[in-house]
Structure 1
Amino acid sequence: MKRRSDNTTGALDEALERLHATGPERLGRLTNHAPMAVEALAARGQAGAVHRWLDLYGPKLEEFPAPVEPVTEANRAAALGDPRRAADWIAYFGRRIAEQPWRDVLAQWWPRLLPGLYGGSTHPVIRVGHAVRTLEERGATGPRLSELAHGLGYWAARHHPLTGVTVLPGTHRTAADSLDAVPPIANRADGGFPARLARVERLPAWAAAVNDPEEARRGLVELVRAATHRYATHGHGDETMLVHAATAPNAVLRALPALPRTLWAPSLHAAWTASAAITAMYAPDEPVAYAPPGTITAEEVFERAVVHGDEHVIKLTDTALDVGDERALAAALRAVELSEPLS
């Protein structure tokens, strides 16, 4: 193994190289969160913690899955949404990104994958969002391009549309009000993400008429803020799964700079559906009172998340720092309070 570097570029790239020998899932259904968490650590100035954290998380990782059959232009439609084909899809995107600029590959495949954003508990799009942030902000390296291929391949393998949902008419003007208006699914205590997703039948309309790219970007910012704020008072409905109501739309928001503007409005619509569906699946019966974070800085909140170590806490705190206000910091601290530490 290469000598570990203390700088952000070295630490992240070395971590990604370690992780690309592992699969996108474990136990046949649980997501490998390490690529997302280490990217967040590096992006927030905690490069020195990347390998220490990864050593703790390492026992959860499984070997990279065996390939089945190469994905080609002729058979890709049949392979879409087949989780057995994860290795085949990752190899396919690895080839495409080696042949074309990564932004071109992303722009071509984003509208194909967007309808299936809901598969894998939204983790594939979240992984892609982390990969795009690093490529956009810190430049392309081999491991970072490979990480995008892994994220896109995981998304294609877990591609799962949400169908049969009735859009409820309403006059809710804000994302926060619309999330408050989401009706809960039946039997919220029963089943995992796929089973609950199948019971999502009704969701409020919000931002459905938005077609302007800049308005769509502003809508995504609003949605991420609203879902993050809501975690501060509703996160106890499910301390882990409700994280994704904020981190999934934030992943979409992070991808926008690399996407054609014509894709921004469809991205907002898909992100809203994901956030609203997760709210329907896991929201508690009643909120708790809002607890202000007190005199604590954003950097101190992230340090608490790093010490805590849980991957969802780290990712929600990363999103909370994007939102950047007091209530978002309170949401991150609530995640620290509710979640089991990594040990």
Structure 2
Amino acid sequence: MTDDTSGTLDEALERLHASGPERLGWLSNHAPMAVEALVRHGQGRTVHHWLDRYRHKLEEMPRPHARITEENSHEALGDPRRLADWPAYFERELAARPWRDVLAVWWPRLLPGIAGGATHPVIRVGHAVRTLLDDPDPGATTAPRTAELAHALGYWAARHAPLPPLRQRPGPASGSAADALTAVEPIADQSGGIRERLARLTAFPTWPPTPTDDPTTAPADHPEEAHRRLAELVRAATHRYATHGHGEPIMLVHAATAPNAVLRVLPALPRELWAPSLDAAWAASAAVTAVYAPREPLPADRLPSVAGGLTPEEVFARAAAHGDEHAIKLTDTALDVAQGPDAMALAAALHACAMIDPVL
């Protein structure tokens, strides 16, 4: 649970809401996600210094294009000219209705575009919802956290981008998420940015398995089974970063953090949305894996290890000192997984800190 008796998180979010969700026309603003993770894991004292160093990556919110209403929202979906219009729309919606009600309406509309914005919008939504779920008294929720949900949903709506039509290939005989990710075939042409790469996707392995594929498994459309499978996927993707993250250390972070964002949102959603959320999370994780993963894992003698028996708190402190937003967010997800405890998840976090350039 976020330890924010100082009000650091709310101050940071207020400071950030004058900024747009992107810079240089496409690169995402990671600051709201990173500062939420820093505060949650006891590094609140570092937040404003971290923001000072990140300030050069912030741009002002773009100028409004045209007001979005319920009537014209469908045609505005996925229109990046509306990067300022969509947060304003969700601010009005959240002022009129409880945030869970707004989320329940828009979550299924946005899920098909989960890969839009390189999955950053859904990850930002996951961080925003986590802070709102922390508050046992919904009536006392702070305005900056509700505003952050509006910004996160608005970013997702503006960058909403469905994947191309995909064929389903047979999934792994084991039915495990780890084997399903292994069965994802890397695209042949891994040139260009993520939008160009995603357009080259043609097929994914079927996952999770259906009872027809494996009669011993419960149907994935059962809410509890969907939740279990989603947690399994997050764990598998985090572990896989330890062995395959070298393919693209920054972008492969999202193969784990995107499904974990969905997992964080599940408790706020109606249970009938849990199964489609699992399907979308698998699509996001598999897509990032296909367009960035190397064909071979690290050799056994080069696999990362958790030297000296570091605690999860010590591992996160290293990520905070490292300073890169991707290392911080991967470590944040690794700590969710490591509640087991889970040495491989912590190794993945340390591996991210080793491969990604630190912020000096």
Residues in 1 aligned to 2:84 and 2:350: alpha-carbon distance in whole angstroms: 37
Aligned residue number for residue 3 of structure 1: none
Residues in 2 aligned to 1:205 and 1:73: alpha-carbon distance in whole angstroms: 35
Q: Is the contact between residue 208 and residue 269 of structure 1 (CA under 8 Å) also seen in structure 2? A: no
Aligned residue number for residue 186 of structure 1: 188
Aligned residue number for residue 195 of structure 1: 196
Deviations 1:289-312 (A, max 9, x none): 333213111111001000100000
Q: Is the contact between residue 41 and residue 47 of structure 1 (CA under 8 Å) also seen in structure 2? A: yes
Aligned residue number for residue 219 of structure 1: 229
Q: Is the contact between residue 9 and residue 36 of structure 2 (CA under 8 Å) also seen in structure 1? A: yes
Aligned residue number for residue 255 of structure 2: 245
List structure 1 segments (4+ residues) > 2 angstroms apart after TM superposition.
Answer: 6-9, 289-292
Q: How does 1:146-157 map to 2 (within 5 A)?
A: 146-157=147-158
Deviations 1:95-136 (A, max 9, x none): 000000000000010000000111000000000000000000
Q: How does 1:1-343 map to 2 (within 5 A)?
A: 7-8=4-5, 10-138=7-135, 140-170=141-171, 171-188=173-190, 190-207=191-208, 209=210, 210-288=220-298, 289=300, 290-294=303-307, 295-324=309-338, 325-343=342-360
Q: Is the contact between residue 251 and residue 292 of structure 2 (CA under 8 Å) also seen in structure 1? A: yes
Residues in 1 aligned to 2:235 and 2:119: alpha-carbon distance in whole angstroms: 18
Deviations 1:249-307 (A, max 9, x none): 00000000100000000000000011011111111121113332131111110010001
Q: Is the contact between residue 12 and residue 35 of structure 2 (CA under 8 Å) also seen in structure 1? A: yes
Q: What is the deviation of 1:172?
A: 4.0
Size of the alignment, in residue pairs?
337
Residues in 1 aligned to 2:4 and 2:26: alpha-carbon distance in whole angstroms: 34
Residue 9 to residue 269, structure 1, CA distance change in 2 (3 Å): farther
Residues in 1 aligned to 2:41 and 2:130: alpha-carbon distance in whole angstroms: 12
Residue 130 to residue 72, structure 1, CA distance change in 2 (3 Å): same
Residues in 1 aligned to 2:207 and 2:91: alpha-carbon distance in whole angstroms: 36
Structure 1: gaps of 5 or more residues = 1-5
TM-score, normalised with respect to structure 1: 0.96
Q: Is the contact between residue 175 and residue 209 of structure 2 (CA under 8 Å) also seen in structure 1? A: no
Deviations 1:161-215 (A, max 9, x none): 1122111013241000010110111211x11010000011111011154100000
Residues in 2 aligned to 1:22 and 1:204: alpha-carbon distance in whole angstroms: 39
Residues in 2 aligned to 1:255 and 1:166: alpha-carbon distance in whole angstroms: 28
Residues in 1 aligned to 2:311 and 2:94: alpha-carbon distance in whole angstroms: 39
TM-score, normalised with respect to structure 2: 0.92
Residue 131 to residue 169, structure 1, CA distance change in 2 (3 Å): same
Higher alpha-carbon deviation: 163-172 or 197-206: 163-172
Q: What is the deviation of 1:30?
A: 0.2
Q: Secondary structure at the residue paired with 2:84? A: helix
Q: Is the contact between residue 115 and residue 160 of structure 1 (CA under 8 Å) also seen in structure 2? A: yes
Residues in 2 aligned to 1:7 and 1:203: alpha-carbon distance in whole angstroms: 42
Residues in 2 aligned to 1:175 and 1:205: alpha-carbon distance in whole angstroms: 10
Residues in 2 aligned to 1:265 and 1:172: alpha-carbon distance in whole angstroms: 20
Residues in 2 aligned to 1:163 and 1:174: alpha-carbon distance in whole angstroms: 25
Q: Is the contact between residue 7 and residue 48 of structure 1 (CA under 8 Å) also seen in structure 2? A: no
Q: What is the deviation of 1:7?
A: 4.6
Aligned residue number for residue 215 of structure 2: none
Q: Is the contact between residue 8 and residue 42 of structure 1 (CA under 8 Å) also seen in structure 2? A: no
Residues in 1 aligned to 2:163 and 2:304: alpha-carbon distance in whole angstroms: 35
Deviations 1:219-248 (A, max 9, x none): 110000000000001000000000000000
Structure 2: gaps of 5 or more residues = 211-219
Higher alpha-carbon deviation: 318-327 or 162-171: 162-171
Residues in 1 aligned to 2:62 and 2:322: alpha-carbon distance in whole angstroms: 30
